[in-house]
Amino acid sequence: MKNLLRKQSSVLTAIALCAAFLAGSVARLAGAADLVPLQLELPKPKFEGTPTNLKVPNLEPARAGAGQRPPLMVPQGTELLSLNKPVSGSDEEPIIGELEMVVDGDKEATDGSYVELGPGLQYVQIDLEKTCEIYGILIWHFHSQARVYHDVVVKCASDPDFISDVKTIFNNDHDNSSGLGVGRDKAYIETNEGKLIDAKGVKGRYVRLYSRGNTSNDLNHYTEVEIFGKPAE
């Protein structure tokens, strides 16, 4: 009798595990069905001159094959949150342009389309004006020339001083030379595609983007930053 009860218990346990597995699979499939490709509008490509042989540690390999990068899948209803939102930064008097240009919608590689910050570690900070679920961040530093920006770090927080709920979304500072922590992401070459970062639904109101010069000079540039997501419930 005891052996029979043990066998029945084992069978019931196995059935419960299978049911839980199937329920989880159904939930994942339902969630995946709600995802759609993030729609992006890219500027025209414009490399000036011949791209140099960039030798940068931790540089991501060139994408295999021709064509555009794979789409970023995001929940339905994801929208552009950052257009014309308030911008502040570590360099309040840029060398060229104004900080507001970071989110003005102009991402073309033309004069007058970018803001130039001073040398060394600098950041720009975007206030989404409410806590949001962030699914994607697209960055164009300067894409009229093939160059790599050093120590690109993206963080979000719930307060403007980055004290509460600080989360790192992207960090390619592989040797912690900027003191923001060691990053595992890859350095990359600027193109008209920009750098598309999967933010995975992280919650925050303020987004801060760092860099520390580039392979052409010690200055920091932003042509446009687009942040995609939804207001948090």
- pLDDT tens-digit map of 19-64: 444 444 333 434 556 999 999 999 999 876 556 678 899 999 877 7
Confidence at 233, pLDDT banded by 50, 70, 90: confident
CA atoms of 86 and 39, how far apart (whole Å):
23
For tokens 């193109």, what's the residue?
A: 191
Tell me the HSE value of 173 on the side-chain side, using a 13 A CA sphere: 21
Provide the greatest CA pair distance for the chain.
86
CA atoms of 207 and 167, how far apart (whole Å):
10
Instruction: State the Cα torsion 42-131-117-138 to the nearest 10°.
Output: -20
For tokens 């060691």, what's the residue?
A: 182
Higher per-residue confidence, 226 vs 5 = 226
Which helix (H) or strand (E) segment is 139 a member of? strand 122-140
Tell if the pTM clears 0.75, that is, is over it.
yes
At 29 the pLDDT is 38
Domain ranges of the chain: 2-33, 36-51+74-231
- Arithmetic mean of pLDDT over the chain: 88
Start-to-end Cα distance in the chain: 54
- The superfamily CATH assigns to domain 36-51+74-231 is Galactose-binding domain-like (2.60.120.260)
At 55 the pLDDT is 85
Which amino acid is located at 197 in the chain? I
